[in-house]
């Protein structure tokens, strides 16, 4: 029996993460690369019946005026992060996939992101509901055209400014009417979430933006018997924090201060260069230490745009801790990773795991996927090793 | 009801680790310090009824001509690792404990260690059995004098040269007769182990030397219904390896090479400066990666004596890994820890946990204590997080 | 013939730098330490007839309510930066020197510094001229009491907020009358400078504050035939920048970005934690690269207060450069230095060199001392090696 | 008037350094790259009349069975160090230059290097004089065919094992006859040197091998009125040592220990993996510190083959120094450079400067070029800044 085909719908479909994801899926399908970096390809997940490269179809929304090939080629020429041979081999496929990418919405994305959009989008006016309907039409057409059994919507777009959701109604039935007017300032990441969940499709928020984390959208997911998860993909410094902090805790070493400085230069950096957008990010990176330690060491996290770095995100962390008899000691680490190359395989993993969960009939927050996120919804577990055990346990269940 | 008193008997009792352990125990008893660095003081072990500072009595064997106070003061003046106020406050106690420290044995410790011993010891000749009997007499007298319910013997002496145990008989009954003559080249660390186990006392090997790991001594432990564990305390670089390597494995990132350079300058460094002794150590530090990854990245571990470092052990590790689509990335860490201050609390933890295990009637290898060792006997688990869960599970059992 | 005695008058006389300077001078006089760290003790300056430890008398101004001994002991207990034996040995001398330290002025020091002052000082009101006169009375009494041939006034106090001097008159004769009223907002560092220069004493500004760098005070120095120099002692990260940047220039390697993150936790850090004061500092640290390269790489300098660090200033610098054929490469350095211990010997050096220059009859800016400063006045030379050659040439002249 | 054409003759002509040099020269001639990384293109050397890209012709000797294009492409695919677009653009030129590359000699290169050679070379037997004559015939034919005014012979081949030259005669007239028999074990690097100098061509030794540094060859250079220089190109860690060590000296900071660990994985690493060859290299890297400081800190230099690194040489240096009042402090640096890309521009610089020196009639050792070498012959100056000033002074002379 032929496997049914599955769609991955990327919000921010021509950004660095999306372009890398797509080059990767093309290369995997063509057998040009091995599966290194893909969690879902570890032996312990081999028997789950995850969807295969041949059965994945890609589409998405984008607001900028670029092509997938140009986005990928920039990771070759500027960042020296992607193998040029892979991008060359994928060019034809990238051009074809470009046809599946539709105009996104700029509703409440903030000035910085709006400033990157193509002109016709900036002139568009629509209510949240109109935006949602347009988004849904795009996704439904995609699903129909490609005869897809499911579409996993994944947000890999730029980080939005902080949004205060505390005054929103907590049920979908109360929130839905507010979307008819522009007064409801729900950010785009949440509108995409609402669109996906209302269609019954899973939604994964790989960014620190609000997405589907608000109660009313959790409610919607349950109503529609679909699943979702977020937020903020854990790719580098925070992955190390969630790995190393438990070690200090287990050894009863008192972390006095933990300083982390991050520099990088891709489009994400350009957006985070706006203090508003940066606020959303830094909060997400700095939260877990207190939860792991049970006390609050002095912490400092900076994330700065340094253009020459391109996609290479370098983090220097300085951990100052008290050992036995009060002796101060230091651990430092330097992480030099290509941001998009770290994120892309996790996007593919999340799509595969979310598709399986949906197929299995799971609804609501997929807390078993906590290990993929800086701030996993629905669980207080921040120890990476324990988060990974949660994933393994889920796979066995 | 008054708690019974417990002895800690240290092999290498005036070395840096022992001196720090003793200063620490004095400071804890006097309430001069908090319990940072002590695993056994974590909340999850609070209800186990571990022995308290007031009930611990300290003794040991030593081969060099120093005093405890001088050894501790060197960590203040040369290494700037110990707080001078603590050593000053502990001086009187240190001088008193010096009386509990007896002459050790130089049998098969290798030329490097023998060269550090005081003259009268170097002139002594004794058979292994004579040495064991002498050691036992010292420990028994100590137990009697201080009315101890148990004595935990812990080896914190310098690393011996490698010893090939493959031709030894595997039962104690066959090995014991060989100890009557000098032809059995069992190293001192094993003789101390035999002495302790034969008396029914627990033995913990905190060094990479052979100790009680050979089958005939495991047999002896079972015969005497006592327990033991080893080997090589996990304090710094290897602790980080066993914490970080699982993260790379869980993310399916392929570690191509892992290089670790260690420098330090204490007495341990002096002994390891001998290529024979160093061999024992480097093997212990480099073994776990293959076990965690299931494949063998190129590895390099050096450990070099740099006198100016004193007790400060600095490790630089360079981890070169392949990410998604083959993109090479790098993680580096620098660990700057005071060796004796990292080891000493674990020595105390091990004494307390081993005493509890013995009280509970456990025999043989204490594999639940794997998280404390670079090369834990009796288990193939090298993931620090999982090793710690083993300890927590044991505590709950 | 007996050498004449020389005074060193420290502004900020009980801060960390001053306390270390004073402990050091006491220890040098008593022969407790060698001369490591003192530039003026290098062989090439041996024949200059610099003033000797026996002939130095110390006094100064301070605004906080502490003792020299407490300030020094804090560097022992909190920061573990000073050898406890030295502070113990110097205690008696420190207590005696305390008597030579007088109340400073809070005029235009900014809210952050004023907030640290003792109460009686905060309530004081005086015009700039009154402050200058009071300062001069203190210094003159000190010179008379100790029969000093010269007094070198050195500012080692906390960094003031930026001050716009562009509207001030450029001659002393025009500026002097403005000091009669409070409308002239000249910061304290400049008032101390004016006080010293008007008395004919040399003035050295070791801080990034304005000090005597304004034209009217340069004019005053010439009128009084005395000398001065500044500003901002070059002790750590900037010293390395001025050493490494020329290497990149000489090899025609194009520095694309130079990022420097500094963390520390002493009183200087507390003051710099105020964004106003920090502005003055960051500018001083980030200026020289453009001057050395002749083009402007992207630069980023942060300096953050991390309390656990105490006096230990750690800098991580990430230098991203283009090599041949455009290949990007990276150099990183980590500098772990005790701030006060790096600064103090330079304060002593500057006092000795400035005293010699004054004795030789030199007036105006002492540009030969450029190698000691982050932003040396009166010269565009920022290459440390060339600056040092300037000092050697001056010594030979 | 048309400029005369100049030959660059590379020993090791298809190694990584040579391949990069040649790709670079092609790219420069075609205007595909800017001149970053080339010292000779700094403004201060603009008026010297150095030979231009159009006038350079390349040839050389090689012992392995590869093509220039393959060697260059390996730097693209394996090391990701060279821009793929440049190698693609240079392919045709590289193929043409391959015709100018002749078989080198294996005389006394040691077993490791000989093991890399193509079979027909390994079977060849020739006396040193026969080898020299063959080499000279190749170079002369090249000069004639391309109508070259001069040929600069530069050794960029792998490091030979150490060679004891202390028993060799010190005059060329005495050494020359010994070359007739195989008993004179002069290594290949010296035979190439003899060949070049005897033809009157300049010889530059970019490797730590012996080359033309022995007295008899210095004598030959003077006889033939030609010039030469060496040895061991200063590209990374040692460049930093010669830049940073003077800073510590100028500040009278006492370096207690300087540890440097180097890892890399190119062909040079393969050869240095042989302990014999490594000995030659480590000596060259570790010599200068004592000369700069005037005392001998404890030093340690390792250089290890880690295959995954390819052409990327990473050095971690840990500098432990005593500051004022004996306070120990630490500087560490990490250098991540592509070895061939750092070396290649210096090869071009040396060819241009040596050609100019020869044209100017200079004979013997070109000590003005000291800044390019780890162990510059004929001068004790190891301070990079001063070495660079020597080059600038020579340029102005």
Cite the residue boundaries of each domain of chain D with CATH code 3.30.360.10.
Answer: 237-338
Q: How close, in Å, is residue A209 to chain B by CA atoms?
A: 24
pLDDT in tens, C14-67: 999 999 999 999 999 999 999 999 999 999 999 999 999 999 999 999 999 999
pLDDT (0 to 100) of residue D226: 98
B371 touches chain A (CB under 8 A): yes
Sign of CA pseudo-dihedral C212, C214, C218, C221? negative
- Answer yes or no: do B371 and A250 touch at CB < 8 A: yes
- Answer yes or no: do D329 and C337 touch at CB < 8 A: yes
Most confident listed range (B185-189, B333-337, C303-307, D113-117): B333-337
Question: How many helices (DSSP H) and strands (DSSP E) are in chain B?
Answer: 15, 11
pLDDT (0 to 100) of residue B286: 65
pLDDT (0 to 100) of residue A1: 43
Phi-psi region of C12 (alpha: psi -120 to 50; beta: other; left: phi over 0): left
* Mutant choice from D305, D308, D310 vs B, greatest count of B C-beta within 10 A: D308
The region of weakest confidence among A214-223, B274-283, D66-75 is B274-283
Sequence length of chain A is: 397
Mean pLDDT of A254-277: 88
Q: How close, in Å, is residue B87 to chain A by CA atoms?
A: 11
pLDDT in tens, A94-121: 999 999 999 999 999 999 899 999 998 9
Q: What percent of chain A has pLDDT over 90?
A: 87
Indicate if the pLDDT at residue B285 is higher than 70: no
- Determine contact, residues D313/D264, Cβ cutoff 8 Å: yes
Cite the residue boundaries of each domain of chain C with CATH code 3.40.50.720.
Answer: 5-233+341-396
Other C-beta atoms closer than 10 Å to the C-beta of B68 total 27
Mean pLDDT of C369-387: 96
Indicate if the pLDDT at residue A258 is higher than 60: yes
Identify the chains in contact with C, defined as 3+ C-beta pairs within 8 A.
A, B, D
pLDDT (0 to 100) of residue A285: 65
pLDDT (0 to 100) of residue D124: 85
Q: pLDDT higher for D164 or B368?
A: B368
pLDDT (0 to 100) of residue C184: 83
Indicate if the pLDDT at residue B1 is higher than 60: no
> Closest by alpha carbon to D27, among D80, D77, D93?
D93
The listed CATH number (3.30.360.10, 3.90.245.10, 3.40.1710.10, 3.40.630.30) that belongs to domain C237-337: 3.30.360.10
Mean pLDDT of B338-366: 97
Q: Which residues of A touch C269 (CB under 8 A)?
A: none
Q: Which helix (H) or strand (E) holds A336?
A: strand A328-338
B255 touches chain D (CB under 8 A): no
pLDDT (0 to 100) of residue A273: 78
- Answer yes or no: do B316 and D316 touch at CB < 8 A: yes
- Determine contact, residues B153/B196, Cβ cutoff 8 Å: yes
> Closest by alpha carbon to A306, among B128, D333, C299, B369?
C299
> Closest by alpha carbon to A16, among A303, A311, A273?
A311
* Mutant choice from C31, C37, C325 vs D, greatest count of D C-beta within 10 A: C325
Q: How close, in Å, is residue A224 to chain B by CA atoms?
A: 32
pLDDT (0 to 100) of residue B183: 80
Q: Which of D302, D309, D334 sits opposite B332 (nearest CB)?
A: D334
B115 touches chain C (CB under 8 A): no
Other C-beta atoms closer than 10 Å to the C-beta of C164 total 8
pLDDT (0 to 100) of residue B128: 95
Burial class (CB in 10 A: 0-12, 13-18, 19+), B194: buried
Indicate if the pLDDT at residue B3 is higher than 80: no
A246 touches chain B (CB under 8 A): yes
User: Quick one: pLDDT band at residue B251, thresholds 50, 70, 90?
Assistant: very high
Mean pLDDT across chain B:
94
3 state SS of D348: helix
- Answer yes or no: do B41 and A252 touch at CB < 8 A: yes
- Given the DSSP bridges, would you call strands D298-305 and D254-264 parallel, antiparallel or unpaired? parallel
- In this complex, how many residue pairs, one in chain A and one in chain C, have their CB atoms less than 8 Å apart? 63
Q: Which residues of A touch D86 (CB under 8 A)?
A: none
- Determine contact, residues A308/C320, Cβ cutoff 8 Å: yes
Q: Where are the beta strands (DSSP E) in A206-265?
A: 227-229, 254-264
Indicate if the pLDDT at residue C174 is higher than 90: yes
Q: Does domain A5-233+341-396 have CATH number 3.40.50.720?
A: yes
Identify the chains in contact with D, defined as 3+ C-beta pairs within 8 A.
A, B, C
Chain centroid, CA B297 distance in Å: 28
pLDDT in tens, B153-194: 999 999 999 999 888 999 999 999 999 987 888 999 999 999
Mean pLDDT of A51-62: 97
Distance CA D187, CA D206 (A): 15
If you compute the radius of gyration of chain B from its CA atoms, what whole number of angstroms results?
20
Indicate if the pLDDT at residue A14 is higher than 70: yes
Phi-psi region of D25 (alpha: psi -120 to 50; beta: other; left: phi over 0): alpha
Q: How close, in Å, is residue C286 to chain A by CA atoms?
A: 15
Distance CA B259, CA B280 (A): 18
pLDDT in tens, A119-129: 989 888 899 99
Q: How close, in Å, is residue B247 to chain C by CA atoms?
A: 25
Q: Which helix (H) or strand (E) holds D305?
A: strand D298-305
Mean pLDDT across chain D:
94
B328 touches chain C (CB under 8 A): no
Fold of the D237-338 domain: Dihydrodipicolinate Reductase; domain 2 (3.30.360)
Indicate if the pLDDT at residue A232 is higher than 90: yes
Mean pLDDT of A319-338: 98
Q: What percent of chain D has pLDDT over 70?
A: 97
Q: Which residues of C touch D42 (CB under 8 A)?
A: 250, 252
User: Quick one: pLDDT band at residue A181, thresholds 50, 70, 90?
Assistant: confident
Question: CA angle, corner C211, sides to C210 and C212, nearest 5?
Answer: 115
Burial class (CB in 10 A: 0-12, 13-18, 19+), D379: middle
pLDDT in tens, D248-261: 999 999 999 999 99
Q: How close, in Å, is residue A94 to chain C by CA atoms?
A: 28
The region of weakest confidence among A345-349, B286-290, D9-13, D109-113 is B286-290
**Against a cut of 0.80, is the pTM above it?**
yes
pLDDT (0 to 100) of residue B257: 97
User: Quick one: pLDDT band at residue A283, thresholds 50, 70, 90?
Assistant: low
pLDDT in tens, D283-341: 666 678 999 999 999 999 999 999 999 999 999 999 999 999 999 999 999 999 999 99
Cite the residue boundaries of each domain of chain C with CATH code 3.30.360.10.
Answer: 237-337
The region of weakest confidence among A377-381, B190-194, D2-6 is D2-6
Q: Is the peptide bond before B203 cis (omega within 30 degrees of 0)?
A: no
C80 touches chain B (CB under 8 A): yes
**Contacts (Cβ under 8 Å, ≥6 apart) of C72:** C19, C20, C22, C23, C82, C87, C90, C94
């Amino acid at each position: 029996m032929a496997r049914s085909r599955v769609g991955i719908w990327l919000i921010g479909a021509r950004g660095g993460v999306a372009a890398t994801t797509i080059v990767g899926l093309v290369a995997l399908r063509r057998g040009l690369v091995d599966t290194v970096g893909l969690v879902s390809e570890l032996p312990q997940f081999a028997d789950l019946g995850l969807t295969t490269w041949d059965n994945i179809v890609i589409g998405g929304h984008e607001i900028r005026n670029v092509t997938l090939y140009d986005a990928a080629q920039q990771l070759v020429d500027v960042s020296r992060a992607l193998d040029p041979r892979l991008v060359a081999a994928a060019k034809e496929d990238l051009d074809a996939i470009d046809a599946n990418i539709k105009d996104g919405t700029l509703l409440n994305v903030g000035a910085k992101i709006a400033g990157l959009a193509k002109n016709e989008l900036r002139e568009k006016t629509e209510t949240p509901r109109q935006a949602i309907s347009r988004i849904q039409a795009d996704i439904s057409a995609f699903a129909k055209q490609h005869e897809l059994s499911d579409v996993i919507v994944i947000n890999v777009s730029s980080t939005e400014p902080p949004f205060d959701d505390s005054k929103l109604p907590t049920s979908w039935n109360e929130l839905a009417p507010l979307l008819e007017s522009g007064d409801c300032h729900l950010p785009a990441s949440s509108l995409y979430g609402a669109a996906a969940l209302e269609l019954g499709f899973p939604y994964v928020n790989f960014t620190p933006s609000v997405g589907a984390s608000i109660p009313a959208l959790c409610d919607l997911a349950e109503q529609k018997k679909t699943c979702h998860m977020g937020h903020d993909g854990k790719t580098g410094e925070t992955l190390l924090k969630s790995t190393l902090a438990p070690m200090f805790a287990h050894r009863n070493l008192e972390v006095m201060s933990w300083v982390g400085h991050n520099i990088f230069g891709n489009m994400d950096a350009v957006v985070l260069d706006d203090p508003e957008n940066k606020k959303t990010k830094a909060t997400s990176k700095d939260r877990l230490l207190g939860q792991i330690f049970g006390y609050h060491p002095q912490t400092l996290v900076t994330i700065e745009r340094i253009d020459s770095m391109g996609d290479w995100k370098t983090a220097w962390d300085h951990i100052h801790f008290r050992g036995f008899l009060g002796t101060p000691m230091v651990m430092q680490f330097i992480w030099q990773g290509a941001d998009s190359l770290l994120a892309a395989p996790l996007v593919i993993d999340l799509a595969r795991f979310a598709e399986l969960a949906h197929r299995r009939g799971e609804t609501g927050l997929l807390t078993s996927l906590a290990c993929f996120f800086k701030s996993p919804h629905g669980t207080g577990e921040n120890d990476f090793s324990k988060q990974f055990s949660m994933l393994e346990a889920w796979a066995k269940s």
